[in-house]
Structure 1
């Protein structure tokens, strides 16, 4: 996760697999299923999550189309210790 001033951006490296999954979820939702993309932030403090358009503009386009079709996008922060990672809270997702 790329973090800057409380804004966490995905991906931090190009992800062809992630792009494929978003497109498949869009198709599934079009066919009557429910679908969601869940981003896990391995830090406890963040204001909101977004897509790193500079790293992968195609993913931003796919996420926007997926949202328009009804795919939910959720982002969760975590409490991280040397022995465990625990989900802390949901934060907003904003497609900038």
Structure 2
């Protein structure tokens, strides 16, 4: 997927979950919208470079949106959580995810399950059982170089695992898809120490034939400036 035109500045602070102050190259300080309500551990360090898009919607109070963090060690992190599903949908349409390449119909945001959930994608095929795909964006990089999910306790994520496990138990296909949005991550583990209940539910889900897929993002650069990104590497 291609980014809208991006500009950059240096992060001064992130606050109130939805806001961040950055300093532009000319010294001007501006406030931008942060579309990530999570902990963003390691993704919002003072001094990191922030890449942001600009909206022409006159009704927006904050016209700039934080898209990427470029860390002081050179890694890129997509912090806009909306991009994860867009990336996966693009990959599904182009059949870049080999395990899911045989599904012709991609239906986003479908209601399902007994806990009133919405699955990110329902995949259909004339030859195969329906496949329910839940996407989780992963940005937490630990000190030992391992990427982990979740970065905070997630009751919503627990619910999704219960729903997928039930779907798999009924004989349909169920997938939990970890989209690795941090270029510094080359290995992945579940964060048992952060949310042991999520880890236990995921282990049980796998025993019930819920498939786990992990794909990593590649940032496409031109003269050092991000132009786009693609899910290209299976971990």
TM-score calculated relative to the size of structure 2:
0.37
**1:76 lines up with 2:76 in the alignment:** no
Q: Any gaps of 5 or more consecutive residues in structure 2?
A: 1-138, 221-225
- For 1:21 and 1:38, locate their aligned partners in 2 and report how far apart those are by CA, in whole Å: 12
1:40 corresponds in structure 2 to 179
Moved more, 56-65 or 9-18: 9-18
Following TM superposition, by how much is the alpha carbon of 1:45 offset from its aligned partner in structure 2, in angstroms? 4.2
Query: In the alignment, what sits opposite 1:90?
Result: 234
Cα shift at 1:2: 1.5
**In structure 2, the residue corresponding to 1:25 is in which secondary structure?**
helix
Normalised TM-score (structure 1): 0.85
Distance apart, 1:7 and its partner CA: 1.1
Alpha-carbon distance between aligned partners in 2 of 1:55 and 1:46, rounded to the nearest angstrom: 18
1:37-75: per-residue Cα shift (whole Å, max 9, x none)? 001111234332111111100000000000001001111
Deviates more, 1:19-28 or 1:73-82: 73-82
Aligned match of 1:3: 141
Please give the root-mean-square deviation of Cα atoms over the aligned residues, in Å: 1.5
Which of the pair has the greater relative contact order for Cα pairs under 8 Å at 6+ separation? Answer: 1
**Number of residue pairs the alignment of both structures matches:** 91
1:2-60 CA distance string (max 9 Å, x none): 11233110001221111101110000000010001001111234332111111100000
2:156 corresponds in structure 1 to: 17
* Higher helix fraction (1 or 2): 1
Indicate the structure (1 or 2) with the bigger Cα radius of gyration: 2
More strand by share: 2
**Are 2:192 and 1:53 aligned?**
yes
